[in-house]
Amino acid sequence: MGKIVIAIDGYSGCGKSSTAKAVAKDLGYTYIDSGAMYRAVTLHFLNNFVTLTNPHEIEKALKSLEITFHLNPETGKQETYLNGLNVEREIRKMNISSKVSEVAAIKDVRKELVAQQQRLGKNKAVVMDGRDIGSVVFPNAELKVFMSADLLTRAERRQQELLEKGDIVDLEEIKNNLSERDRIDSSRKESPLIKVSDAIEIDTSNLTFDEQVAQIVNKAKQIIEKEKSYAGNHR
């Protein structure tokens, strides 16, 4: 199978991560959760009492930070590590969700994480999801997807996900968190969430999970085939 980069951007909670993971699995690609990286930085800043308006504290904290992903052999799922510690569960909690957009709006944080993300994707064969993947991290990605879904659908799905992890959270609280994050992510100065003109848009409100995965996988396979025949004709 040929190697391309698949960039999946979109609003909070519209199923980007689980879709991206399933697409990567189908194609035998690596999945990279860029949101987990912003969440890990947020946790690191909270643990170290970093003042978000102090560039020196931010610079120092970013230097003492290592984010890695490792496969959990028991679940087969990829988990996020911060300085060698598994933080996968902690970074999904509401205290991080309510702070992460503020941290993700900081220029130096974005500069550092974008560089790391570009290194992770340099050999292609990756599916990366986030807010600026098609616009900033991989502007030359062969396939760009912009995912959306209505707010209530997103909140209900997120509530179910949290419940499956044992966290009972009020639907209104989740709705407020999602719309507040959408607002900050779309209006920030540093690489705001936008739908780039060469992205295909998928509204998942009325699609099943398998349908949304299949749409992206099919599109990816078409592009891979095209690239192969182009390479074949120009040998």
**Beta-sheet strands, E only, within 155-211:** 200-203
Measure the CA dihedral 8/11/17/20, to 10°: -20
- Residue 12 within binding range of ligand DC, rule CB under 6 A: yes
Q: Which of 19, 31, 39, 106 binds ligand DC (CB under 6 A)?
A: 39
Q: Is the Cβ of residue 147 or residue 213 nearer to ligand DC in the bound state?
A: 147
Comparing CA positions, the residue from 219, 207, 195 lying closest to residue 149 is 207
Alpha-carbon distances, residue 155 vs 37, 40, 53, 130, 192 (angstroms):
22, 22, 30, 18, 22
Residue 29 or 134 with smaller CB distance to ligand DC: 134
Q: For residues 65 and 115, is the Cβ–Cβ distance under 8 A?
A: no
Per-residue contact flags (x/-) with ligand DC for residues 54 to 93, judged by CB under 6 A: ----------------------------------------
Kindly identify the residues of this chain, within the stretch 171-190, that bind ligand DC according to CB under 6 A: 181, 185
Among 23, 27, 35, 43, binds ligand DC (CB under 6 A): 35
Site for ligand DC (CB under 6 A): which residue of 88, 112, 132, 142?
Answer: 132
Closer residue to ligand DC in complex, CB, 96/229:
96
Judged by beta carbon, residue 139 or residue 225, the one nearer ligand DC is 139
Q: Does 212 bind ligand DC (CB under 6 A)?
A: no
CB–CB of 85/169 below 8 Å?
Answer: no
Residue 100 vs 145, nearer CB to ligand DC: 100
Neighbours of 36 (CB within 10 A): 23
| Displacement of CA 95 from its chain's centroid (Å) | 18
Q: CB nearer to ligand DC: give 29 or 38.
A: 38
**Angle between helices 34-47 and 107-120 in degrees, nearest 10:** 140
The SS3 of residue 89 is: coil
Judged by CB under 6 A, which of 20, 121, 131, 144 binds ligand DC?
131
Question: What is the β-pairing status of strands 30-33 and 143-148?
Answer: unpaired
Least distance (Å) between residue 228 CB and ligand DC: 29
Binding site for ligand DC (CB under 6 A): 12, 34-35, 38-39, 100-101, 104, 130-133, 181, 185
